[in-house]
Amino acid sequence: MTSAAAASETSAPGTAPLTAVVTGASSGIGRATATRLAADGWRVLAVARREEKLRELAAETGCEILAVDVTDDDSVAALTARVEDLFGGTLNSIVHVAGGALGVDPVAEADLEKWQGMYESNVLGALRVTRALLPAVRASGRGDVLFVTSVAAHEAYPGGSGYNAAKSGEHMLARTLRLELNGEKVRVIEVAPGMVRTEEFSLVRLGDRDAADKVYEGVENPLTAQDCADVIAYALSAPHHVNLDLVTVRPLAQAAAHRVARHQGV
């Protein structure tokens, strides 16, 4: 769906624009999604921990912003209050992007602090925000809860142990919620990206710029954050009787989480 077509759906004469909360919006897929939805005519509340990055996003897109740590109960309570103030207690969509990977340790050498951090941000963070905002999503009459997981939620790979475990947990959260909401006007959507080259994901995971660059070395056209935002925007803007339960999106060069075509000079 093009931006123009989606905008016509979300801002038709006499109708209020659709509303969304996007977590993890300071960079990468979250930032690209907030930007895309705002361009499509949605009213977007973009949230992340780094307020200075959010201010830059607001200046570029006109979206609303709030500094939120999804691992903190008080911070999520403040998000709930802001949704009430901005959108009158109703909300069309939650887009869960906050999360990420930390390290590539094998199970035998697992860093428990990193595992706990990944579980807190990817699973419990999504749970906190869902639990807090689900009443507003239900009240909208046209609701979506969209989880951006990963192929790591569905395919184990060497070096993925902690991230595999965390994203698998988020995947099961989405599946269970879909069963619990069956019969209500709320879709539960999962988008599972493969290799996406963003400015921070591999750098945060590996802690070294050279190591992060090697992840994509020789790979022709890894996905971009904008590619993922396009998929998310389509899933949210499709007719509401159409539910994309699970979308796996990879670059052509990637056949599986651990199988990527690499070429010299690319």
Which of 119, 157, 163, 216 is an active site residue? 163
Q: CB of 237 within 8 A of CB of 6?
A: yes
CB of 77 closer than 8 Å to CB of 52: no
Tokens found for residue 253: 């060069």
Which phi and psi angles does 20 have, rounded to 5°?
-150, 145
Residue 115: other Cβ atoms inside 10 A: 19
Residue 212 CB neighbours (<10 A): 18
Answer yes or no: 163 catalytic: yes
Give which of 16, 15, 48, 18 is closest to 31, Cα–Cα: 48
- Gyration radius of the chain's alpha carbons: 18
Cβ pair 118, 99 in contact under 8 A? yes
CA dihedral over 109, 195, 33, 181, signed as positive or negative: negative
Active site residues: 163
